[in-house]
Structure 1
């Protein structure tokens, strides 16, 4: 899922080409390439860019400014941002910022040079939009909420042997730290690095036995042993939320609030 998110974020060649229009390389209306029976004016070049990539690029630019406003108004917990970064690292099996950046640049073509750039342009904007898509389950009217709208945030410890799982559960019940025990004992390589954290997930994302247990726990509650094809799990639910709007519904509202007016006839029907 994380890799798909990155692919969706990868910017097209249009965005990179569009930068040419703003780098001040030549005077407006000048000739930017010339030779024997060859002449490419800036006006012709920019028109070609508009014709080929204009819709996509203009949408990107407008959406970025809308998202910048959302981010400015959002109260994003920096700890949550770091948690997201660590999730990416675990997903790709790397430990350092430099290794993660290399994967983002080389495998996905993401034009980010620093981890701060990645946080600002991807993680923080995603968290800000999620804040508009969801609400705490405590404030939701569960009588009108479909179960498919509910997401659970959970951590788990996975081991192969039932006896080992029973020993770990006894330690948890005796007050030992769940995250430390997950890091020490869990055989799930991705989540173990994060103290067992799995993040939020909805119905259909986990194997049935795991899902049934997680969705029946209260926030802060730890499960009994849950056996699946992967081994024995100990699950702790850390939060729940309700998806009240889709991404498209949120963006439509934001576009409406922005009162967009298109002055170029070529893009009159774009928004």
Structure 2
């Protein structure tokens, strides 16, 4: 089975680095017209130059900005066929006792991991409904299915919320030819934050983590991208509301 996206218009968020960048590259290589979005302007510009894509520097936690982004893509291309929502992360936070968490700590992670996905889906839904076709793929996490290895309460809660949002949108949008699914990655060393987390485990913790994975290796950003592209493809047209764990069997 060869998966192609010739002439499909795809918006990939979190595309400045790591998993988002790998997803964008996968769509581009498969023939899609790809637009990139991220808060990291420098990283996004590098990805765009490498792939030859249009890019948009935007804070997706802001509803107006997210809606404006979708409007800009539709104005340029006349359509929007797929969203691949990889923006998120820990926003520089580390695991701390619950007593130390401030309202700002909590809200920043929800804005990054949940709000942006909701606002983009909200903006894209009318366009996809009118076309009778759409694909939305969120990137959640194993932390959305069980306690998080990061030890960050807001991150685990936000990823659980993203899983719930994915299932709810699948139910609501399915009658209009729109599928909504999620990829839940295991631990992937794909950006500075995950490198810091990996280093914090030390040699013994790293060995325990890898030994708990059936395949006895960490995943790569490309492993996650392959799953996201499948869920966005036409062969996956009867798959919706699903959370696909891509974690080497750890779950």
Compute the TM-score of the two structures, normalised by the length of structure 1: 0.29
- Give the number of the structure whose alpha-carbon radius of gyration is greater: 1
Compute the TM-score of the two structures, normalised by the length of structure 2: 0.30
